[in-house]
A and B are shown apart, each in its own frame.
Chain A
């Protein structure tokens, strides 16, 4: 009894927090738009009994999914989201790795402070921090003022409402998710491995590529997934910093839902997004599992 209860907990958790919401969304995605509350039809009516349920299922169709393939807006948005996610993950890695490396090599007594500095931005609202970037990146913003003042540029750069601003915002926001797993991989690394590599004829740079990078690979993979998965569906950063030129699926989803009030199409977009995300999530889980196996 006790054992059954323990085993049931994760399944109940999965059912309540993932499967039930997913099937609700799936059901809406198979419905049709309607001028009603809620704004779709059919709705499940149990008072009709078995006939009602049968009637309900007969009205469901894949129309919205077909629509997604007919209008090129959607696949362009998916593609653009994946592209932005991949590129910004790469930049986050480029910025995050040296920071994690520096933290892992810092004197032990400094490390908690450095860790604190990485986590500190989480203490203020994400939204406020993205708004702050609008103030920095706009034509009259601090960045342009600084560059004009130092004489590097003579006319203000247009950064806000371009993809560059989206990349800056994503790298800034998701940097801690990249730093922390890499740091934990590097921190566990035995310093004498680098000395052994040098002793066996490696230069510093070779030792880094042949020993440090392979040993921090689980951290790199974890960090990349932790950044890429949420960025694909990111909505706030592209809508605040990206302007109308940036096409991302999160933004399309929001517009379908709130501007068009087309819940069925919005749900279909969400279901497809989830299916796209399942691939990296499964790969991520496999990486984590392999790592735990290797540590045993």
Chain B
């Protein structure tokens, strides 16, 4: 299966001419979905803890978090299978709490796909349309359109057990899109696919989302998937939202150590901050080590405990101390993780701290500059790191 030639991604601003899609920054924009102080308890267990969130029309919104963080509960509340214990969920300005699942303009793509095994692919896609008593001719057109959109036309007469996992995933998508819902929920939609197929399908999902203009909410524990497909990502932990932002902001400007650590690879250095010019701080972090310098728009008090988060790819590794480096530490190579295109060097500092530095393998591996036990310098700029409170 090949990925569709996908359109340039306007969400990240790749198309300069068209306006950047960012309704969350527009105070006039009306959200499609509003969680208003929603709490959900199962007995003593609080799955969702006083959570408020706005999701806008045409967004591809990702709920990301470890298992048990409440992301699936959020989705099931949107679908109508659970009702909030406290608070309200609004869809297009209407409180949907009393509306049963079959009356909501919301459709869901299930993690298990939940295709009806006794019905053909065609009948599976037509299932929801038949419930609306759609005229026969319109129904046939709509099913054919969905089959074309998901490239399943030649499988229409087969039963779900006669097609592959990737095809089943597309049937589930076609079935949930057939009724043209205001909101489509995707529960770990790509979880059952292997990595290669998953990557192709991610682009297909984005493509279909753009073509149909439907608002998508996706639940996933795979941060790479969330970053790839979503216009905004909500990182959740223990029933709370940790951060809601665009993928690049989540990655570049995490608001907490939890988010920085959850998304991608990161070095966390604990220390104490002291002001050192406008928005610039000096961080004392270890005995006998020169203080580090980092910029931050957040104010820090003199001597306040802080965490410095640096992505490994923003750390430069070199044999000699770079002359102009503002932050430089010396250590020796403890370990090397070779990933093919990248290598991650685990550099041990004299005090035992390990800092990861990642470089692209632009040369053949036999010509690699560093090997185990080599003394090296690590350096990064003042803006490379993010200064966090906790």
Docked complex Cα distance between A117 and B106 (Å): 42
Q: List, in ascending order, chain B residues with CB within 8 A of A200's CB.
A: 102, 107, 127-128, 131, 175-176, 179
A195 engages B110 (CB within 8 Å): yes
Given contacts A206-B131, A215-B118, A294-B161, contact A198 B110 (CB under 8 A): no
**A contact residues around B80 at 8 Å (CB):** 199
- Give Cα A242 to B118, complex, Å: 42
Residues of chain A within 8 A (CB-CB) of B21 are none
Say if the beta carbon of A79 comes within 8 Å of chain B: no
A296 closest partner in B (C-beta): B161
Does B338 sit at the interface, judged by CB under 8 A? no
Among the listed B101, B111, B116, which residue makes an inter-chain contact with A198, where contact means beta carbons less than 8 Å apart?
Answer: B101
Q: Any chain B CB within 8 A of the CB of A203?
A: yes
Q: Known contacts A200-B107, A201-B128: does B112 contact A195 (CB below 8 Å)?
A: no
Q: Is B81 an interface residue (CB 8 A)?
A: yes
**Bound: A196/B107 CA distance, A:** 9
Interface string of A197-228 (1 = CB under 8 A from B): 11111110010001100110100000000000
> Does B110 lie within 8 Å of A192, measured CB to CB?
yes
Residue from B101, B110, B116, B132 within 8 A of A211 (CB atoms): B116
Give the nearest-CB partner of A218 in chain B.
B118
- A202 cross-chain contacts in B, Cβ below 8 A: 102, 131
B residues touching A (Cβ–Cβ < 8 Å)? 79-81, 100-102, 106-108, 110-112, 114-118, 127-128, 131-132, 161, 175-176, 179
Let me know if B161 and A199 touch, CB within 8 A: no
Query: CB-nearest residue of chain B relative to A201?
Result: B131
A contact set with B: CB distance below 8 Å: 190, 192-193, 195-203, 206, 210-211, 214-215, 217, 294
Minimum C-beta distance from B136 to chain A (A): 17
Residues of chain B within 8 A (CB-CB) of A197 are 116, 127
Contact of A201 (CB < 8 Å), options: B79, B102, B108, B116: B102
Residues of B within 8 A of A198 (CB): 100-102
Given the contacts A192-B110, A206-B131, A294-B161, A199 and B116 also touching, CB distance less than 8 Å: no
Tell me whether B161 and A192 are in contact (CB under 8 A).
no
Contact A196 B110 (CB under 8 A): yes
Bound CA–CA A203/B80 (angstroms): 13
Closest 4 CB pairs of A and B: A201-B131, A200-B128, A196-B114, A192-B114
Report the minimum CB–CB distance from A197 to chain B (whole Å).
Answer: 7
26 A-B residue pairs with Cβ-Cβ distance under 8 Å, sorted by A, are: A190-B112, A190-B114, A192-B111, A192-B112, A192-B114, A193-B114, A195-B81, A195-B108, A196-B108, A196-B110, A196-B114, A196-B116, A199-B79, A199-B101, A200-B102, A200-B107, A200-B127, A200-B175, A201-B128, A201-B131, A201-B132, A202-B131, A203-B102, A211-B116, A215-B117, A294-B161
Residue of A nearest to B110 (CB): A192
In Å, the complex CA distance between A217 and B117 comes to 12
Contact between A195 and B101, CB atoms less than 8 A apart:
yes
Q: Are A214 and B118 in contact (CB under 8 A)?
A: yes
CB distance from B334 to the nearest CB of A (A): 47
In the docked arrangement, what's the CA distance between A206 and B81, Å?
Answer: 17
Q: What's the nearest-Cβ distance from chain B to residue A61, in Å?
A: 52
Given known contacts A195-B79, A196-B114, A198-B101, what 4 new A-B pairs fall within 8 Å (CB)?
A: A192-B114, A196-B116, A200-B127, A201-B131
A195 proximity list for chain B (CB < 8 A) = 79, 81, 101, 108, 110, 114
Q: A202 CB to closest chain B CB, in angstroms?
A: 6
* Chain A residues, CB < 8 A from B102: 198-203
Chain B residues with CB below 8 A from A203, complex form: 102
How far, in whole Å, are A206 and B130 apart by their CA atoms in the complex? Answer: 12
> Nearest residue in A to B118 (C-beta to C-beta)?
A214
> Which of A190, A198, A294 has the most chain B CB within a 10 Å cutoff?
A198
Q: Which residues of A contact B106 (CB under 8 A)?
A: 199
Task: Choose from B108, B111, B117, B118 the contact partner of A199 (Cβ within 8 Å).
Answer: B108
Shortest CB-to-CB span from B74 to chain A, Å, is 16
A residues near B111, Cβ cutoff 8 Å? 192
**Assembly CA distance A210 to B126 (angstroms):** 13
Return B315 CB to nearest CB of chain A, in Å. Answer: 45
Identify the closest chain A residue to B119 (Cβ).
A214
- Residues on B with C-beta less than 8 A from A192 are 110-112, 114
Complex CA–CA separation, A253 to B166 (angstroms): 60
- B77 smallest CB distance to A (angstroms): 13
Once bound together, how far apart are the Cα atoms of A196 and B128, in whole Å?
A: 10
List residues of chain A with CB within 8 A of the CB of B107: 199-200
Shortest Cβ gap from B193 to chain A (Å): 18
A215–B114 Cα distance when bound, in Å, is: 13
Q: What's the minimum C-beta distance from A234 to chain B, rounded to whole angstroms?
A: 33
Residues in A with CB closer than 8 Å to B131 are 200-202, 206
Q: For residue B108, which residues in chain A have a CB less than 8 angstroms away from its CB?
A: 195-196, 199
Assembled-state Cα–Cα distance A258/B261 (Å): 87
Most buried by B among A192, A193, A195, A199: A199
B2 to chain A, nearest CB (A): 29
CB distance from B253 to the nearest CB of A (A): 37
Least CB separation from A206: chain B residue: B131
Chain A residues, Cβ within 8 Å of B101: 195, 198-199
A184 → chain B closest CB, angstroms? 16
Residues of B within 8 A of A193 (CB): 114, 116
- Give the CA-CA distance A294 to B112 in the complex, in Å: 19
Residues of chain A with a CB closer than 8 A to B81's CB = 195
Write the chain A residue with the least CB distance to B133: A201
Quick one: closest A residue to B101, CB to CB? Answer: A198
Enumerate chain B residues within 8 angstroms of A199, measured Cβ to Cβ: 79-80, 101-102, 106-108, 176
Bound CA–CA A214/B127 (angstroms): 14
Among A195, A214, A294, residue most surrounded by chain B Cβ atoms (within 10 Å): A195
CB of B285 to closest CB in A, whole Å: 50
Q: How long is the Cα–Cα vector from A200 to B132 in the complex, in angstroms?
A: 9
**Distance, CA A193 to CA B108, complexed state (A):** 12
